[in-house]
Structure formats: C-alpha cells, structure tokens
Chains A and B, each alone.
Chain A
Amino acid sequence: MMLRRKKLSGDEGFDQLQREVLLAVKVSEEEIEAVATSPDLFDGLRLRIAGERRQRSGGKVLADDWRAADRAGLNFIRALLGPSRPPHWILTAAAVLLLVAVALLLWLPKQPRESREIAQPVIPQTVPSRPLDTDPRVLPASPEKVLDAVPLSSKQQRRIYRRDQPSDNHADEIATDFLPLTFMADSTAPESGHLVRVTIPRSALLAMGLPMNAERAGELVRADVFIGDDGLARAIRFIQ
C-alpha cells in the first residue's frame, strides 16, 4: 500500500512535471507582439513570395515549352498520317517494317567485317612501289614491307615479323622470309606489286629453282607469291 502510494505520488509528480515542461514553452504576449509586429516580417514574406513566384513561373515556362514540343511532334505525326485515321493493317505493316529495318541495321555492320576477315588472305594486296633491294633475303615478312626493306640483322627481322603479324585468326601462321625468284637489276625492279596466297604442289618448287624433296613431291604447300606489275613472280615465302 505504501509502495503503491509512493508510486502514485511519483507518477503524479511526473504528470505535473510534464504539464509544467509543456507550459514552460509558452511565451508572453509581449514577445509574440514583438515578433508579429516586426517590420522585417512582412518584407521577408514579400521577398519569399516573389522568389517562389519566380521559381514557379520558371518551372511553368519550362513545362509549357515541353508541352509545345509534344504538341508540335503530335501535329507532325498527324500531318504525316493524314486527316483520316489509317486502318489497323497499315499501322501493323509499318511496325513490322520498322522492326525489320532495325534488325537489318543491327545485322548489316557485322557482315562486311566477317567477309573481310575471310577474304583477307586470298585478296591480292597492293604493295607500295619501291625498287627491290639487291639482296631479297633481307625483305621483311610482312607484305607491306616487302619493298621497304633495308639490310637488317636476322634478329631485327624476326622482331619486325612478330610485330607485323595480324592479330586475327592468322596469328597461328608461320611465314618464312621472302625468297627471290628472279635476279634482276635495280633499274628493272617493279614499281609495285601484289601478294597472292597460293597452294601449289612441291613439284612446282623445282620450276622456281628451289630445292625439293622428291619423296614429298605430291604434297601441297601454301605460299605467298609476290608478283610485280609486269606479271612476273618476284619472290615467294612459305606458310605453315
């Protein structure tokens, strides 16, 4: 009983304190009057309203611009479609055509790249014109550098060869250096030429003055033949 009375009095104390804390935030009428009659209060309000109005009108102008653009776009579409509403089948056909066009656009850019990759090894390549070096063994392996050769050490040649190897599916090919097929003076050297990838029997090597193993005469070998503008084969390299 004593405990309960004590608890009650404690609760009452807290309740009273709560009320007093809440009442303590009340301010006097003089303070309210001082703030309410402050001349700055209405000036600040007018500034705030003006700022807000500017902000709202700016947003409204922007929204109006968008709405006008939408209307213009819709009018353009309506003008294209004409005054009467087109039948459903026309719209459906247009949608199908649009889809086909998008699909073609997505598919077409890939196709030439693939054909280029396939055709690259067999299409003859134009080599910039430059007189052939007297020693064809120093010709670099890359077709572009066939006529651009300067005497280099074998190590340097290998380095150039590695650097010039394409990074596509021909990267696993091994090419020898170009071997000269004819001995001609510099003055009669071709100005430019083509590189042609061929597959020939080993027996054909004899005709080019190259040594051949008679036991493997029937086998085929792949090679790049450098043909000058005069139509003569000038050099050959073997591909593995």
Chain B
Amino acid sequence: MEHCTDISGFATAAALEPVTHEAVDDELVAAVRSGDEEAFALLFERHRRSVTRLAYRFFYHREQVEDIVQESFANAYFALGAYRGGQERSFIAWLSRITVRACYDALRRSRRAENVMSELNQEEEGLLAEKLRDVGKGSDIECAAISRDLANKLLQRLEPDDRIVLTLLSVGDLSVAETAELTGWSVSKVKMRAHRARRSLRRVLHRFV
C-alpha cells in the first residue's frame, strides 16, 4: 500500500515517484539512526518532491521553497528518534507534518517582517477588479490574467493560521481530519479556522471591487 495516497494532496506525487513502501522508509530510518548517512540521502531522494510540492503551496519564490525543504528535512533528521514507524503513521505523513510546521513558522516570521512586496500596485489592483467583474461570465481563471503572483500577494494578507488551513483544504484537497492531523489542531479548530479564513479572504477581495 502506498501511504502517500493517504494524504490526498500528495496523490499526484505518488504517481510520479517510484513505488514506496512503509517498510522501506522504516528500514531507512533505522539505518539512519544507526549512523548510516547514505540512508538519509535515500529518504531525501524518495520524498523530496512531496515536500517541495507542499512548500510550494505556501511560498511563491523558489529560494523560500528550497529553504523550507531543507529546514523540513533537517528537522526530520534530528527528530528521527521520535519517529514511531508505520505503527502510528507513515514516514511521509510524519514528514508532511514537520513540513507544515516549518511553513507555518516561516509564514509567521514573514508576517512579522512586514513584507512590502506583498502590496498590490495600481495595475494589479485594476487587473483584480476586472477579473472580479468578469468572473460571472465564466472566464477561465487559469487562462485569465490573475497570476500566481497576484494570488500569492492576496494570500499574504491573511493570518498564517488562516492561510495554512485554506491552503491545505482548498489547494491540497485535504479533508478536515487530514488537515487537523497535519497541523496538530483539533477538528473543531480546523473548521472554525476555515470559516474565519474564507471570511477574511472575502474581505480582502471586497476591497478591490
């Protein structure tokens, strides 16, 4: 059984990656624990795409994504002692949780840093307003002019908690339970956060109408 498919957000990743088994991951983890550095390189090789994909959900710039990937694997490396193996959860689920935590921390840091680049310029605001007017006419957003950059700038205006929940639910196509597992929050908190996050995003969009 491929445990990557447990997290629906990584379903496409499973198709791209070679066949993975929990047992293989657990064996590699055991090898790393006994001091085999090459085993960790193999673990990295097996899961780097999944982690990169997850990091790209929250960050737009390649440098940021690379930083998150490295931070996640480094944190996982030093936390391998706490990994319980396939009995509780798969390695990729455990690693995803670490990655989400790293993304959450990075979002909080970047929010404190008051990124000026997240401000929309007049051209972008006009573009967004135009798309808002045309949205009812069935225009295809993927083909429209709302770029990923624009979406990213809009999402940067959300609280890190809101963004984490919205991204995992809407972009990663995860269920509430899966989101709760990844974030470490309770199901009710995820639901409440999701409701607030949608309201916040709507408020942000209203500003440009």
Contacts and interface: CB of A to CB of B under 8 A. Distances in A.
Interface of A: 9, 12-14, 16-27, 29, 31-33, 35-38, 40-42, 44-45, 48-49, 52, 56
Given A14-B205, A14-B206, A45-B70, 11 more contacts: A9-B136, A21-B155, A24-B146, A24-B148, A24-B150, A25-B56, A25-B60, A27-B148, A32-B53, A33-B16, A49-B78
A27 B150 CA distance: 14
Q: Which 8 A-B pairs have the closest CB atoms?
A: A20-B141, A24-B151, A36-B52, A22-B170, A21-B151, A36-B49, A36-B48, A45-B70
B52 to A, nearest CB: 4
Contacts of A23: 141-142, 170-171
A48 B74 contact: yes
Nearest to B75: A52
A17 B154 CA distance: 12
A22 B151 contact: yes
A23 B66 CA distance: 21
B171 A22 contact: yes
A113 B77 CA distance: 67
A38 B83 CA distance: 27
A13 B71 contact: no
Contacts of A14: 202, 205-206
B78 A38 contact: no
Contacts of A16: 135
Contacts of A42: 41, 44, 48
B167 A35 contact: no
A24 B146 CA distance: 8
Nearest to A43: B70
A13 B135 CA distance: 6
A230 to B, nearest CB: 87
17 contacts: A14-B206, A18-B170, A18-B205, A22-B167, A22-B170, A24-B142, A24-B146, A24-B151, A32-B49, A35-B62, A36-B52, A41-B66, A44-B66, A45-B44, A45-B70, A45-B73, A56-B78
B70 to A, nearest CB: 5
Contact of A29 (B12, B44, B198): B12
A9 B135 CA distance: 10
A184 to B, nearest CB: 90
B99 to A, nearest CB: 13
B136 A13 contact: yes
Contacts of A52: 74, 78
Contacts of B92: none
